[in-house]
């Protein structure tokens, strides 16, 4: 039986396509949602990599998508993908013509294709992958609520990955009643071009460096925000009202909501293989970073990482929040205890940054409406979330703790386990940071003390 949160979400917030789930009579063990925007052969490699699952056949929900103003190559690639699907799959069962939704038989399961890449059915301007993910997940949620999906998990990935053979089995030890999301470990597949491969390794180093820095500082938001590596319990998905419809960073924002709702489990099993490719489809992310590194004058040689002291200041602020939660009182007393004369702690810059973020007002409000330390702790970390953490880091950087050349940052950071060894090849450094990040899987991220299980 579906929960109250799921029923309300499907009634009030689900995309119209979710209603077509009622026409599917089959029951599946697992579901996987894949948005595809202008994909070529990589899409079919992804589909071919989807393994069988322990609970039964797999339903893949493929959301072909584009906006009317998408570049011509995107429309051409979508047309080619549509034609190839028609050639290579048995005749599908039509569930809807507005938009076109078809169900195809595949080895090990079914492929549900939602075509939002045709005239009259394009995604709205300024919306994109977030809406595509939401459409796919809303359909999956409706099927789960109807008892058509046995697994409690909504798997999410991208159309340029290779999934491990134990993709579904990795979730078996994770309790969906207390976990709001699981994040698979990942590796990049690097291009044959040496410059592009080096850029890819550096970008992966930056991703792992950031998460390791957050974890070292004690942030509950220390996880990779990747829609390609994400699985969400159906109840948690409904409770946070699904993916935002953004054209970028939809994974960052949905995880920001999920981390406030329950634990984020960082998996350390066989990694998902990501494609390190050039792309300008969104203003940030792997593709954009590689494009910037390989096409600008600065290039790979001058790549920089956040100053380690930024994370030290974050750690100091998080200790202040913990002191406030434990002892109550006001925000001024813990701040006054910071060592103003410490040359490694810019107390002035820290307070300026916090004032700019509105931290002091937010803390005072949290104190006023909290009756016990645990409630206060949750209010503090719910306000100082992943988004404000990133703003804090950027303002500390822009205020004086400027980013360092990447090798220097890796050497000086206390959380990389690379002190004195950063003359190694980039691949060695990347692998070392990956192993350091795997250790985080022993403890979940997220704001603690909140159960995910919804009301039946």
The answer to whether 325 and 377 are in contact (CB under 8 A) is yes
- In angstroms, the Cα distances linking 167 to 46, 155, 276, 380 are 13, 9, 20, 35
Q: What is the pTM (predicted TM-score) of this model?
A: 0.92
Q: DSSP 3-state assignment of 40? A: coil
One domain for residues 280 and 230: yes
What's the pLDDT tens digit per position in 264-281?
999 999 999 998 654 555
pLDDT score, position 292: 61
One domain for residues 277 and 396: no
The residues, any chain, with a CB within 8 Å of residue 242's CB and separated by 6 or more, are 9, 13, 14, 134, 137, 138, 141, 254
CATH for 148? 3.90.550.10
In a domain? residue 128: yes
In a domain? residue 210: yes
Residues of the chain with pLDDT under 70: 1, 276-299, 329, 337, 339-341, 419-423, 449-456
Pairwise CA distance, residues 115 & 118, whole Å: 7
pLDDT score, position 302: 80
Sign of CA dihedral 131, 284, 440, 191: positive
One domain for residues 40 and 177: yes
Nearest CA-CA partner of 23 in 150, 142, 156, 152: 142
In a domain? residue 216: yes
Q: Last residue of some domain: 295, 326, 355?
A: 295
* Helix H or strand E segment including 109: strand 109-116
Q: How many domains does the chain have?
A: 2
* Helix H or strand E segment including 31: strand 30-36
What's the pLDDT tens digit per position in 174-214?
999 999 999 999 999 887 788 888 888 999 999 999 999 99
In a domain? residue 146: yes
pLDDT score, position 450: 47
What's the pLDDT tens digit per position in 96-115?
998 899 999 999 999 999 99
One domain for residues 325 and 308: yes
One domain for residues 287 and 396: no
pLDDT score, position 330: 72
One domain for residues 249 and 219: yes
Nearest CA-CA partner of 127 in 181, 74, 66: 66
One domain for residues 324 and 265: no
Q: Last residue of some domain: 295, 313, 345?
A: 295
Domain that holds residue 350: 304-439
pLDDT score, position 278: 46
Q: DSSP 3-state assignment of 381? A: helix
One domain for residues 309 and 274: no
The residues, any chain, with a CB within 8 Å of residue 52's CB and separated by 6 or more, are 58, 108, 109, 168
> Where would I find the beta strands (DSSP E) of 38-90?
58-65
Nearest CA-CA partner of 155 in 431, 163, 147: 163
| Cα of 188 vs its chain's centroid, Å | 16
pLDDT score, position 339: 67
In a domain? residue 317: yes
pLDDT score, position 293: 58
One domain for residues 276 and 320: no
């Amino acid at each position: 039986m579906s929960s109250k949160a799921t029923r309300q979400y499907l009634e009030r917030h689900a995309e119209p396509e979710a209603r077509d789930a009622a026409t599917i009579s089959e029951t599946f063990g697992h579901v996987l949602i894949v948005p595809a925007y202008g994909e070529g052969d990589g899409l079919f490699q992804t589909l071919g990599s989807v393994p069988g699952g322990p609970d039964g056949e797999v339903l893949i929900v493929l959301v072909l998508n584009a906006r009317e103003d998408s570049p011509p190559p995107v429309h051409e690639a979508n047309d080619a993908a549509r034609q190839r699907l028609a050639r290579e799959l048995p005749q599908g069962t039509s569930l809807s013509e507005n938009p076109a939704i078809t169900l195809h038989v595949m080895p090990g399961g079914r492929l549900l294709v939602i075509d939002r890449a045709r005239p009259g059915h394009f995604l709205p301007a300024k919306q994109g992958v977030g809406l595509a993910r939401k459409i796919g997940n809303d359909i999956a949620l409706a099927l789960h609520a109807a008892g058509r999906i046995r697994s409690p998990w909504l798997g999410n990935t991208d159309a340029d990955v290779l999934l491990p053979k134990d993709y579904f089995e990795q979730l078996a030890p994770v309790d969906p009643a207390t976990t709001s999301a699981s994040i698979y470990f990942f590796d990049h597949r690097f291009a044959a071009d040496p410059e592009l491969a080096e850029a890819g390794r550096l970008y992966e180093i930056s991703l792992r460096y950031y998460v390791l820095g957050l974890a070292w500082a004690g942030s509950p938001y220390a996880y990779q925000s990747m829609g390609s590596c994400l699985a969400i319990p159906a109840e948690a998905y409904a409770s946070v009202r699904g993916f935002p419809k953004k054209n970028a960073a939809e994974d960052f924002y949905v995880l920001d909501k999920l981390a406030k709702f329950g634990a984020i489990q960082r998996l350390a099993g066989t990694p998902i293989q990501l494609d390190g490719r050039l792309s300008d489809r969104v203003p940030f992310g792997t593709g954009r970073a590689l494009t910037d590194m390989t096409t600008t004058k600065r290039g790979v040689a001058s790549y920089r990482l956040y100053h380690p002291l930024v994370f030290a200041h974050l750690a100091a602020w998080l200790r202040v929040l913990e002191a406030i939660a434990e002892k109550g009182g006001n925000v001024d007393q813990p701040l006054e205890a910071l060592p103003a004369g410490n040359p490694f702690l810019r107390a002035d810059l820290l307070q300026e940054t916090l004032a700019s973020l509105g931290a002091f007002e937010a803390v005072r409000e949290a104190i006023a409406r909290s009756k016990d330390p645990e409630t206060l702790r949750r209010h503090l970390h719910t306000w100082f979330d992943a988004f404000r953490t990133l703003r804090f880091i950027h303002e500390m950087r822009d205020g004086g703790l400027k980013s360092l050349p990447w090798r220097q940052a890796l050497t000086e950071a206390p959380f990389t386990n690379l002190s004195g060894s950063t003359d190694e090849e980039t691949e060695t450094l990347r692998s070392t940071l990956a192993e350091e990040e795997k250790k985080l899987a022993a403890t979940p991220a997220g704001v603690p003390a909140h159960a995910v299980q919804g009301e039946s």
